[in-house]
Amino acid sequence: MLAPDIGPLLWRIRTDGLIRKALSTAFSRPGYEVPQQIVDDVRAMTLHGSVATSQGADAYMKQRPVPARLTALGKPLLVIFGEEDRRWRPSSATDYTAVPGARVETLPGLGHSPMLEDPQQTMALLLPFLEAHAPDLNQGVLTDRSE
């Protein structure tokens, strides 16, 4: 759909089915159906916005690896990867062990979007982490947005 000559035409005639197929690499749990809200959000994007977002993400990732960026923050880190991620190498989860104190979890049977594919399993990891590190994570962060 991003081909220069035919991309704009295909962008205008894409169906929900085509959008779901394009998004399917973000999900690996058998039987998982991409939520209609995500399809609607993608449909609302312009071709230019989609291309610019993709190019911007690629440029960001090439500048400096994410683990290096996170190390500089000096905050507790929980990394959650789906073992069946088809958008990112699940083995790259080990790259995050370079971040001091990082905890890396790999969830079997899930893909790039574990928080959507299995919210309960994801939350079971997040809640104890947040409870253990809430003061560390909030330090230096404004909680009152009116300031």
Domain boundary among 43, 63, 83: 63
pLDDT, tens digit (0-9, with 9 covering 90-100), for 30-50: 889 999 999 999 999 999 999
User: Cα-atom radius of gyration of the chain, to the nearest Å?
Assistant: 18
Tell which wins on pLDDT, 20 or 137.
20
Q: Tokens 């409870």 belong to which residue?
A: 131
The total of structural domains in the chain comes to 2
**DSSP-based three-state secondary structure for 104:** strand
pLDDT, tens digit (0-9, with 9 covering 90-100), for 96-124: 999 998 999 999 999 999 999 999 999 99
So what's the pLDDT on residue 31? 87
- Whole-structure pTM value: 0.77
Q: What are phi and psi of 133, to 5 degrees?
A: -120, 10
With beta carbons less than 8 A apart as the criterion, state whether 93 and 104 touch: yes
So what's the pLDDT on residue 74? 87
Domain that holds residue 132: 66-140
Statement to judge: residues 109 and 123 lie in one domain? yes
Q: Is the pLDDT of residue 147 over 60?
A: no
Whole-number average pLDDT of the chain: 87
Does a structural domain hold residue 145? no
Tell which wins on pLDDT, 101 or 5.
101
